[in-house]
Amino acid sequence: MVALDLLGRRNALRILWELRSGEPLTFRALQDAAQTNPALLNTRLTELRAAALVVHEGQGYQLSDHGQALLQALHPLADWATTWAASQAPVDQPAD
Amino acid sequence: MVALDLLGRRNALRILWELRSGEPLTFRALQDAAQTNPALLNTRLTELRAAALVVHEGQGYQLSDHGQALLQALHPLADWATTWAASQAPVDQPAD
DNA sequence: CATGCCTGCTATATTTTTTATAGCATCTTG
DNA sequence: CAAGATGCTATAAAAAATATAGCAGGCATG
């Protein structure tokens, strides 16, 4: 899966995830949302734009059609994550 | 999605992916399959075992039930990747 | 029980990636 | 033209990953 190379890079999925609402985000807004720094954000954005997952239009950065399809394809993963997380940390409060 | 933090680390998904057949792999076999080095493999395996995605039993490393469920949840992503890859590189042969 | 091989894994030095921070150039608004 | 927002670059320091060597334990063979 070639896509894993791209998506496996640090913060790549996070950046796409932060754009999930469909609302365009400015460079700085995206930087804040993804809690990263401009150099990395720019590196990832360059890659994601080259991969046609993100576009930059007047209002800011947003997902392309492919990017939206990708997020759709991530739904089962998100569902799994919920189940898994619940099974993970019964480390809530050690019942004082 | 907390899971993205773990899965977004370099080679984490790759390692899970290499275990997809269900056949147990030894440390070295997994290292070869994922094309990585022992230090990183060990770091990831420690994380993945702590996350209960991978188990280490007699025959070698293999996916836990959670790990298998995760790979199932990745199927739509794999499908998407195929579509996306096809749309990506009409850079096949510039028609000599 | 010594030999060799496979196992899981650690140690070390080097290279690559990421981070934090400052700042530049452009555009818009008043 | 000042003031603020925008996209992005530069630089040095810190963190992560890499390549490589090698240790310690298990097991089989002679």
Chain B residue nearest residue A8, CA to CA: B8
pLDDT of residue A1: 72
Token pair for B63: 């996916």
Is the CB of A85 less than 8 angstroms away from the CB of B3? yes
pLDDT in tens, B4-37: 888 889 899 999 999 999 999 999 999 999 999 9
Q: Which of B8, B10, B76 comes nearest A13 by C-beta?
A: B8
The DSSP string of chain A is -HHHHHHTSTTHHHHHHHTTTS--B-HHHHHHHTT--HHHHHHHHHHHHHTTSEEEETTEEEE-HHHHHHHHHTHHHHHHHHHHHHHH---S----
Q: Are B26 and B69 in contact (CB under 8 A)?
A: no
Average pLDDT over residues B70-96: 80
Pairing of strands A60-63, B54-57: unpaired
* Residue A48 vs residues A53, A54, A55, A80, A86: alpha-carbon distances, Å: 5, 6, 8, 25, 32
B62 touches strand D (CB under 7 A): no
pLDDT in tens, A43-90: 999 999 999 999 998 889 999 999 999 999 999 999 999 999 999 866
